[in-house]
Structures are given as C-alpha cells and as structure tokens.
Structure 1
Amino acid sequence: MGLNKLEQDLKRDLQGVASDLKWSAVELLRIAERLSLAGNEADAQAVLKMCAVFHDGEDRLVGYADEVRDQRITRAKTDS
C-alpha cells in the first residue's frame, strides 16, 4: 500500500529539512575552518559543536522520513 498525499508531503518535508541541515553544517564547517586559520580556535570549536548538532538532527529527520516511507509514522487529515 502506498503513501497518501499527506504522508508523501510529510516525507518530502522531513527530507527537505534534513537536506537544509546538511547544507548548513557544510557551510558552518567552512566558517569554522576560517575561524581556526584566523587564530580564533574557541569560536571555531563552538561552530564545530553546532555542526555536530545539525548532523544529529539531520540523521533523526532522515530516520523519521524512513519511518513515514515504511508507514510506521502516518498522517491523516483531521476534521479541525
């Protein structure tokens, strides 16, 4: 049985936000490298910690999207 439109939208949204987090982490990594080269190691380390948080969030969202795909998470229209 396939996904309904709401579930397809949810899966796409989860994957989209995960992709945004991945792109943001890559950009932050570049910033961290520049900070480190400029001698600002404390800020570089703080930005690297942010990258790790983004990466963990990306992994969770991809997992949720997989659960939607496998229909372990469903979405249905409500009457409200």
Structure 2
Amino acid sequence: MPLTKLNQELRRNLKAAAFALDDAAQDLFREAKSYAEPEFLVAMTKIAQLHEHVDRLTMLAEEVKTGKIVRG
C-alpha cells in the first residue's frame, strides 16, 4: 500500500530529525575526544542518549512506512 502524502512527509520528517541528531552526536564525539576523562565520560553518556533517540525516530519512520502509524 503506497504512502499518502501526509505519511510520506511524516516519514521524511522523522528521518530528517534522526539524521540531525546523529550528526550532532558525531560532532559531539569529535569534540569530546579532546576532553579529559571525566568530561569525556559525561559526553559519551549524552551521545548514547542521542543515539537512543535516533534509533527511536528511525523505528517510528519504519512504522510509518509499514502502515502501523498513519497520519490522517
């Protein structure tokens, strides 16, 4: 079943948000490599949280694709 325009837009927005968070996590990691260990560990915790959000958004985008989530 093809996606409606609204669902295509929702999926695109979810994927774009996931990409933006992933990009931010990568930037933070590049910066954090120069930190001392305590600050590095704090940054890694934040990066892990960002990746959890990326995974969640990606999962939601897939649910839109398969029709489990529908924007009406």
Relative to the length of structure 2, the TM-score reads 0.95
Task: Provide the aligned length of Structure 1 versus Structure 2.
Answer: 72
Find out whether 1:22 has 2:18 as its counterpart.
no
What letter corresponds to residue 58 of structure 1 in structure 2? V
Query: C-alpha deviations, 1:5-36, integer Å up to 9, x for none?
Result: 1100000000000000111111111111011x
Point out which structure has higher relative CO (alpha carbons under 8 A, 6+ apart). 2
Q: Among the aligned pairs, what percent are the same residue?
A: 35
Map 1:9-48; keep pairs closer than 5 Å: 9-35=9-35, 40-48=36-44
Q: What is the aligned-residue RMSD (CA, Å)?
A: 0.7
Q: 1:41: how far off?
A: 1.6
Map 1:1-80; keep pairs closer than 5 Å: 1-35=1-35, 40-76=36-72
Runs of 5+ in structure 1 lacking a partner?
none
1: CA distance, partners of 2:42 / 2:27: 14
Relative to the length of structure 1, the TM-score reads 0.86
Runs of 5+ in structure 2 lacking a partner?
none
